[in-house]
Structure 1
Amino acid sequence: MFHNPRELAMTVRLHLVPGTGHAAAQRKDSAATSSWPKRPGLFGSVAGVAALAFMSAAPVHAGEPDQITAQPQDAAKAQAHGDPLANAQADAEQQLHQTFTNLRFEDFGPAPVEGPLYQATAGGKIIYFAPQSEHLLFATVYDRNGVNLTALAQEQGASRRLKAIDPAKALAIGPGDAPTVIEFTDPDCPYCQALDRYWNAKAAEGKPVRRLIFFVSGIHPTAAAKAEHILCSPDREAAFRAAYSGQTPPVLRQCAAGRDKVAADAELVARVGVSGTPTLIADGKLISGFQQAELEAFLDRHAKPAPTKAVTDAPR
């Protein structure tokens, strides 16, 4: 429980551990957009993971019309009896009411989390840990102005990790003058294959990208061999296209340079903290999974303006 609620001027929205793609427990989600490792990791080894719901609503702020707010009536009644804990709860409820004036909420009370919260990055995602009560929180934290502090921390972490990536060591696919995306991918990942089809479709629409490819080979058992085959092929881009469309030959190419590159990519994946595929970095922002809306926004930001037609005077 937060013993000084006045210090908590933020809204927290918590999510369950995403079951996207091939998770450690092989969960499947129809909205999944990424593949995750089968080997035990953070999600498979932490006991007693708690998925807590402080509030089910996204943050809303002053100036938003026609919202119904809850009144702290029950807490106020308890406060009149002089109970210190009830007084703290009433103060916290009143502060929530005053800080987020248009927020609808009910069933206000102490959360099972006790003591301070600490922030960490796992697989490119921000998580929160309460050591006193041993709770792990997958959360989105907003301040009173609606700023997504979790997203800011995630972007700052991505910027730091970006410094570890040498673009010259990537497998480059696409025209050199196109918008650049760093892509961590796996030839056997179905979401990576869907992403490849998406990029191909966008290129056909006149919206190509330059993809800087690094291979993730620790999730699927044949990913490393297929990545090596691509890297050892005379036409690596053509081999990439074939592999991602399920057309790899029965005998895969092998070479020392390809093996070394797969191993170097694996080291980079561990250093950067990539744990699911596809993982992209676009405009310095980390994108986990095949998030089509974010990719559309990226392409829109880099869209070239349509050429203007010359206007001529009509004949007189």
Structure 2
Amino acid sequence: MFRHGLKTGLALLLVAVCGAPAAEPGGEYAELEKTLRARVPQMSPDHIGPSPIPGLLEVRYGAQLYYATLDGRFLIDGSIYDLEKGRNVTAPRLAQARTQAISAFGEDNMVVFAPEQPRHTVTVFTDLDCPYCQRLHRQMDEYHAKGIAVRYVLFPRAQVGAPSYNKAVSVWCAKDRRDALTQAKSGAQIEAKTCTNPVEQGMQLGRMLGINGTPTIVTQEGRVLPGYVPPDKLAQLLDSGAQVAGKGQ
């Protein structure tokens, strides 16, 4: 079952982060890479390197992090805690993997609302019909006043071809995406359009990152903030580097 789940996740990664650079062949961990590719043939690891535990190596597929035995027989899915230092040593590595996956997806595939001189940039996975997503968007001027740029990844919480998915496609294909998104989030009817679009890839990226609700905010450092966070609180959070749980649908 685990192997099936891993393969399913990697199938999503193959589409969602197809622009990400693959691990270079050969090198110190060539044998382990060869073994993993044989056992999980959908794609090769993006990174193999040392872990904090002797005898285990860190293996990264897109934004998913695992630990493997040197012979490639066992793959461990979970976090490592350093009890002496009192910290989760996996969390920073996962955050880095998230930022790399989002970077590979690309800002060109997002709808961006930014002030003239942003101090912070967040990536927000959004559903056009989600009430808290709409609330966040109504306060865009307040986020901008705090120096926060918002990059939207269209993330309809419905299957491909459903009305909310088609609405997201129409927003992307509109002549003015920002205006179309604002109109759609206000409840206005927008013109149905189709074109080449990144909506399905954005959905796959979100699933690969473990996002299952909207809005979900991802900071530049790769920290995930599930739910709506008010402008003042988000600015405080981004300035301090602390984490907060928000509200969401």
TM-score w.r.t. the length of structure 1 is 0.44
1:168-247 to 2 correspondences below 5 Å: 168-178=108-118, 179-203=120-144, 206-219=145-158, 221-245=162-186, 247=187
Shift of 1:145: 0.8
Shift of 1:279: 3.2
Show the counterpart of 1:265.
199
Would you say 1:254 and 2:192 are equivalent positions? yes
Rg larger in 1 or in 2? 1
When residues 291 and 119 of structure 1 are mapped into structure 2, their CA distance, relative to the original with a 3 A threshold, is: farther
Q: Gaps (5+ residues) in structure 1?
A: 1-40, 46-115, 129-135, 303-316
Show the counterpart of 1:281.
218
When residues 201 and 122 of structure 1 are mapped into structure 2, their CA distance, relative to the original with a 3 A threshold, is: farther
Show the counterpart of 1:146.
86
Q: Distance in 1 between matches of 2:81 and 2:142?
A: 36
Please tell me whether the aligned partners of residues 207 and 299 of structure 1 are also in contact (alpha carbons under 8 angstroms): no
Q: Please give the secondary structure, in 1, of the residue aligned with 2:81.
A: strand
Q: Distance in 2 between matches of 1:237 and 1:151?
A: 34
Instruction: Specify the code of the residue in structure 1 equivalent to 2:236.
Output: A
Shift of 1:194: 3.5
Instruction: Specify the code of the residue in structure 1 equivalent to 2:164.
Output: A
Q: Please give the secondary structure, in 2, of the residue aligned with 1:239.
A: helix
Instruction: Specify the code of the residue in structure 2 equivalent to 1:260.
Output: T
Q: Gaps (5+ residues) in structure 2?
A: 9-54, 68-75, 242-249
Shift of 1:198: 4.7
Shift of 1:215: 0.9
Shift of 1:289: 1.5
TM-score w.r.t. the length of structure 2 is 0.53
RMSD, aligned α-carbons: 4.3
Please tell me whether the aligned partners of residues 141 and 149 of structure 1 are also in contact (alpha carbons under 8 angstroms): yes
Please tell me whether the aligned partners of residues 124 and 154 of structure 1 are also in contact (alpha carbons under 8 angstroms): yes
Shift of 1:187: 0.9
Q: Distance in 1 between matches of 2:143 and 2:222?
A: 20
Identity of paired residues, percent?
Answer: 22
Cα deviations across residues 180-206 of structure 1 (Å, max 9, x unaligned)?
A: 222222112334234324544334xx2
When residues 161 and 240 of structure 1 are mapped into structure 2, their CA distance, relative to the original with a 3 A threshold, is: same
| Aligned residues between the structures | 180
